[in-house]
Amino acid sequence: MQIIIFDMDGTLINSGADITTSVNFVRKQVYRLPPVSIAYVTEAINRDQRNLAMLFYETPLYEKKAQQIFEDHYHEQCVQTVRLYDGIDALLNTLAERNSILAVATNAPTSFARRMLDRLAITDAFTHIIGGGDVQNPKPDPEMVHTILDDHNYDRQHDFALMVG
């Protein structure tokens, strides 16, 4: 058995413009801050140790109001410009033809992840789509990976597993 687990943002899809639009919406509406760039948002999200409330909104903790405004805005925004990276569709098809088991492990909320993958018509390629809220310990902790491997009765002596991204 071959199991390939993909990170989502920055590996399968490019969602940087959409998340930046929503971050900047909250910066303007709630905090009266100037916009930040896609590069800034992408770099901040990909840090292992991060306080996104501080990095995005210059406040130590998310305010409930700001978080709700972001989630409402991003629910609509997350599918506006999201796209697959070049070659991903062909890669997923090739791996499926080879009977690989494919899964997604992302720190994004599962509802947003599914919405984006649905928009890109690739949801059905994956046996699992696990978001940060589905586990007690999101990445870089291996809990998501272990959940997927355990669900497939992965045997490290006979099977092959790979995390991409």
Tell me the per-residue pLDDT of 114-124, one tens digit each, with 9 for 90 and over.
Answer: 999 999 999 99
How far apart are the C-alpha atoms of 102 and 149, rounded to whole Å? 11
At 46 the pLDDT is: 81
At 50 the pLDDT is: 76
At 19 the pLDDT is: 97
The model's pTM: 0.92
At 71 the pLDDT is: 96
Q: Which residues of the chain have a pLDDT value below 70?
A: 49
How far apart are the C-alpha atoms of 103 and 130, rounded to whole Å? 8
Neighbours of 40 (CB within 10 A): 14
How far apart are the C-alpha atoms of 71 and 41, rounded to whole Å? 16
pLDDT tens digits, 7-34: 999 999 999 999 999 999 999 999 999 9
> How many CA atoms lie less than 13 Å away from 86 in the CB half-sphere?
0
> H helices of the chain, where?
16-26, 38-45, 52-57, 64-77, 88-97, 110-119, 143-151
Supply the DSSP symbol for 9.
B
* Start-to-end Cα distance in the chain: 20
Two structure tokens written together for 74: 């991003």
Q: How far is CA 83 from the centre of its chain?
A: 13
Two structure tokens written together for 127: 């046996």
